[in-house]
Amino acid sequence: MNRMRELVDKLNKWAHEYYVLDNPSVPDSEYDKYYDELKKLEEESGEVLPDSPTRRVGGEPLKAFSRHEHIARLYSLDKAVTKDELSAFFTRVKKVVPSHEFTVEYKFDGLTMCLTYEGGNFVRATTRGNGTVGEDVTAQCLTIKSFPLTVSYKGTLEVKGEAVIRLSVLEEYNKTAAEPLKNARNAAAGAIRNLDPAVTAKRRPEIYFYDINYMEDGAPATQAECFKWLKKEGFKVFPYVRLCKSEEEVEAAIDEIEVGRRNIDVLTDGAVIKLNDVAVREILGSTDKFPRWAIAYKFEAEESVTTVRQVRWQVGRTGKLTPLAELEPVDLAGVTVRRATLNNYGDILRKGVKTGSKVLIRRSNEVIPEILGTVEHTEGSIDIKKPEVCPFCGAEIAEVGANIFCPNRLCRPRVVAKLAHFASKDAMDIEGFSEKTAEQLYDETGLINASQLYKLTKEQLLSLEGFKDKKAGNLLSAIEKSRTVPLDRFIYALGIEGVGKVAAADLAKSFKDMQSLRAADSQSLVALDNIGEVTADAIVGWFEDNENLAELNRLLSYITPQTKKVVTGGVLAGQFVVLTGTLPTYKRSAAQKIIEDNGGVCQSSVTSKTTLVLAGEEAGSKLEKAKKLGIKIIGEDEFKTMLGLQ
Ligand SMILES: [Zn+2]
């Protein structure tokens, strides 16, 4: 008996070193020798210890999977695919818990598993299934060695992990397989959800553990402690996890993962961000679908490596100076990329970007790609300096938090950006007014405020290069047309820092007119879904500025913002709709109006909330994503039928 105990301990230690720590200390032949001895002893005595490695045999093929209910529901996570969506998550969290820590870890792309222990012994493995009920894959799981058969905790326990197949293992397998496996995600799912445990064993999946789903006497108080506990008990845990104290630190960790995932042997498709403190999680709770305290940031973008030629500073409509990197042109999914954005000077330092460095860039939904990090410096790499004066007007730079500003309201690029934003499609939608028009008007007529557009004469326009009778006439009528505009677009057009389209719509819906919005205090602003503290302060600050107020009054003497009717009920009530591609007869704006008039909500990108996609010709990645998520997709014809329009 003592010998048996000794053998089991020895074999388990070696297996742990081999499968969990990736650091074998004995050759396979040595392991096999002791394993055989143990097996023989067990046969002779008819006794098998609960943590004996001989229990890790999958057994005979099953006829069907039995189903099993999880003790606690296995949640899946809400997803963010843009930095905007990520920042919306922080805004929502901050409202409830202003100060907090997050953990950031890799999001592995495999099959989510739940392992149950009772009285310290492994009893069952299930797939996530629908979150409540999963398939019993105990026999399959027993062929995997990256988890312990016994744990020191004696209560009922469920741990959660992701079954994966290493990329190198997949490659190896495909070399000799009659039917090569397409990708590591399908391979992992296929290996586990396979009725024959021998097939599972052959495909060599592993499990990375990352959560305690249920612990009878309460789980560890934080995510960081949870990782520690899992490791201590012998579960395989991926070595990367970051504890972050701010949104910036989280973003830095995400970038780190984005760069790092190229060098690891496991398929990853993003990062998982969780509130560290379990007690705080409980305050936040969950929606009917997802916990509110965690989010998965998914990488979906095209990436490439190229060299930074130089960094220029741009002045935006609020005066903020943003670094723009000029790059050696590089092809990214069929588009030649020459420039990439960086957030601010701190971002340059954090990412180690220098002139002449090789950097990793990503192009996603944003028009201009961003720099994720530096891959390597070259001999000629030069540090980038922080400007002390505005490169355009020479005004001394003002620093506010992490950002630097040109304080000069008349600074040319600042005025131009403000005017172009005001006239843009999602704002006042003045057709025919481009950034170039703004530059010309600034240079030739001294126009500095949007309100002056409404006093423009044809003579003034005709004096500008490229403006003939027709073009001038068209622009004037477009300006005239913009005098009636939905309130949300007017609010967006004002260009208040942090107030994007979504926030503007929120403000319009809640305050109904400019007078009420102007009177709003921070508190009532923060109460809105899409307004965080910083933006609330920016809004209040904007209305406290006399120059802004004077301009607002001038604008309101020309423009009549309209409050939108809110449609309740309607054929599309409760639907979140995404438009993509070119429709045969409807313009995008027309289709959008029909959707909203029928109670639907239009979204700019496909998210987990999306319920319907209206797709036309040349629908691209949005359609792909919708297919992947199994969202209902319709064409214009079906759309018309649905609404009784034909
Ligand atoms: Zn300036």
Identify the CATH number of the domain in which residue 26 sits: 1.10.287.610
Closest C-alpha to 348, from 491, 226, 252 = 252
107 is catalytic: yes
Report, as an integer, the average pLDDT of 422-426. 93
Indicate if 102 and 195 belong to the same structural domain: yes
Share of the chain above pLDDT 70, in %: 98
- In this predicted structure, the answer to whether residue 81 has a pLDDT above a threshold of 60 is yes
The enclosing domain of 323 has a CATH number of: 2.40.50.140
End-to-end C-alpha distance for the chain, whole angstroms: 82
pLDDT, one tens digit per residue, over 20-34 is 887 888 888 888 889
Cα 315 to averaged position of ligand 1 atoms, centre (Å): 7
- In this predicted structure, the answer to whether residue 92 has a pLDDT above a threshold of 60 is yes
Highest mean pLDDT among 90-99, 261-270, 371-380, 550-559 belongs to 550-559
Structural domain includes residue 407: no
> Of 500 and 148, which is predicted with more confidence?
148
Q: What is the pLDDT of residue 452?
A: 97
- In this predicted structure, the answer to whether residue 100 has a pLDDT above a threshold of 90 is no
CA distances from 331 to 306, 361, 363 (A): 10, 11, 11
Cα 555 to averaged position of ligand 1 atoms, centre (Å): 24
- How far apart are alpha carbons 55 and 43 in whole angstroms? 13
The enclosing domain of 632 has a CATH number of: 3.40.50.10190
Among residues 256, 276, 298, the one where a domain terminates is: 298
Among residues 244, 276, 298, the one where a domain terminates is: 298
* Active-site entry in 33, 40, 94, 107: 107
Tokens of 184: 């590591």
- Would you place residue 564 in the very low, low, confident or very high pLDDT band (cuts 50, 70, 90)? low
Structural domain includes residue 62: no
Structural domain includes residue 166: yes
- Would you place residue 386 in the very low, low, confident or very high pLDDT band (cuts 50, 70, 90)? very high
- In this predicted structure, the answer to whether residue 541 has a pLDDT above a threshold of 70 is yes
Indicate if 99 and 225 belong to the same structural domain: yes
- In this predicted structure, the answer to whether residue 85 has a pLDDT above a threshold of 60 is yes
Mapping DSSP to helix (H, G, I), strand (E, B) and coil, where does residue 8 land? Answer: helix
- Would you place residue 118 in the very low, low, confident or very high pLDDT band (cuts 50, 70, 90)? very high
Q: Under a CB-based contact definition with an 8 Å cutoff, are residues 104 and 242 in contact?
A: yes
Structural domain includes residue 70: no
Indicate if 445 and 326 belong to the same structural domain: no
Q: What is the pLDDT of residue 563?
A: 81
Indicate if 372 and 322 belong to the same structural domain: yes
Neighbours of 290 (CB within 10 A): 16
- How far apart are alpha carbons 14 and 12 in whole angstroms? 5
Q: What is the pLDDT of residue 567?
A: 60
> Of 422 and 365, which is predicted with more confidence?
422
Cα 438 to averaged position of ligand 1 atoms, centre (Å): 16
Cα 437 to averaged position of ligand 1 atoms, centre (Å): 20
Cα 407 to averaged position of ligand 1 atoms, centre (Å): 7
Cα 229 to averaged position of ligand 1 atoms, centre (Å): 54
Indicate if 280 and 372 belong to the same structural domain: no
Q: What is the pLDDT of residue 367?
A: 61
DSSP state, residue 410: T
Among residues 377, 400, 423, the one where a domain terminates is: 400
Cα 314 to averaged position of ligand 1 atoms, centre (Å): 9
Structural domain includes residue 529: yes
3-state per-residue secondary structure call for 523-581? HHHHCCCCCCHHHHHHHHHHHHCHHHHHHHHHHHHHCEEECCCCCCCCCCCCCEEEEEC
Cα 68 to averaged position of ligand 1 atoms, centre (Å): 65
- Would you place residue 72 in the very low, low, confident or very high pLDDT band (cuts 50, 70, 90)? confident
Helix axes 546-558, 533-544, angle to 10 degrees: 80
CA distances from 341 to 300, 312, 327 (A): 18, 10, 11
DSSP 360-409: EEEE-SSSS-EEEEEEE--TT-BPPPPPSB-TTT-PBPEEETTEEE---T
Structural domain includes residue 526: yes
Predicted structure pTM score = 0.53
- How far apart are alpha carbons 493 and 495 in whole angstroms? 5
Mapping DSSP to helix (H, G, I), strand (E, B) and coil, where does residue 425 land? Answer: coil
Structural domain includes residue 74: no
Cα 645 to averaged position of ligand 1 atoms, centre (Å): 53
Indicate if 130 and 267 belong to the same structural domain: yes
Q: What is the pLDDT of residue 301?
A: 60
Structural domain includes residue 570: no
CA distances from 250 to 102, 253, 374 (A): 7, 5, 18
- Would you place residue 334 in the very low, low, confident or very high pLDDT band (cuts 50, 70, 90)? low
Q: What is the pLDDT of residue 629?
A: 83
Report, as an integer, the average pLDDT of 95-100. 82
Q: Token match 């909330």: residue?
A: 609
Among 56-65, 282-291, 412-421, 426-435, the minimum mean pLDDT is found in 56-65
Mean pLDDT score across all residues of the chain: 89
pLDDT, one tens digit per residue, over 202-222 is 889 999 999 999 999 888 999
Structural domains counted in the chain: 6
The enclosing domain of 492 has a CATH number of: 1.10.150.20
- In this predicted structure, the answer to whether residue 365 has a pLDDT above a threshold of 60 is no
Cα 391 to averaged position of ligand 1 atoms, centre (Å): 7
Indicate if 609 and 627 belong to the same structural domain: yes
Report, as an integer, the average pLDDT of 166-173. 87
Share of the chain above pLDDT 90, in %: 49
Looking from the CA of 410 toward its CB, the CA atoms found within 13 Å total 4
Indicate if 134 and 211 belong to the same structural domain: yes
Q: Cα torsion at 211, 166, 332, 351 (round to 10°)?
A: 50
- In this predicted structure, the answer to whether residue 193 has a pLDDT above a threshold of 60 is yes
- In this predicted structure, the answer to whether residue 366 has a pLDDT above a threshold of 60 is no
Indicate if 357 and 470 belong to the same structural domain: no
Query: Residue 100: which domain range?
Result: 79-298
Indicate if 378 and 520 belong to the same structural domain: no
- In this predicted structure, the answer to whether residue 425 has a pLDDT above a threshold of 70 is yes
The enclosing domain of 217 has a CATH number of: 3.30.470.30
- In this predicted structure, the answer to whether residue 397 has a pLDDT above a threshold of 80 is yes
Cα 248 to averaged position of ligand 1 atoms, centre (Å): 27
Indicate if 280 and 338 belong to the same structural domain: no
Among 162-171, 356-365, 437-446, 521-530, the minimum mean pLDDT is found in 356-365
Q: What is the pLDDT of residue 604?
A: 73
- Would you place residue 364 in the very low, low, confident or very high pLDDT band (cuts 50, 70, 90)? low
- In this predicted structure, the answer to whether residue 568 has a pLDDT above a threshold of 70 is no
Q: Under a CB-based contact definition with an 8 Å cutoff, are residues 259 and 360 in contact?
A: yes
Among 155-164, 238-247, 506-515, 604-613, the minimum mean pLDDT is found in 604-613
- Would you place residue 470 in the very low, low, confident or very high pLDDT band (cuts 50, 70, 90)? very high
Per the document, the length of the chain is 646
DSSP state, residue 443: I
Indicate if 216 and 323 belong to the same structural domain: no
Q: What is the pLDDT of residue 17?
A: 87
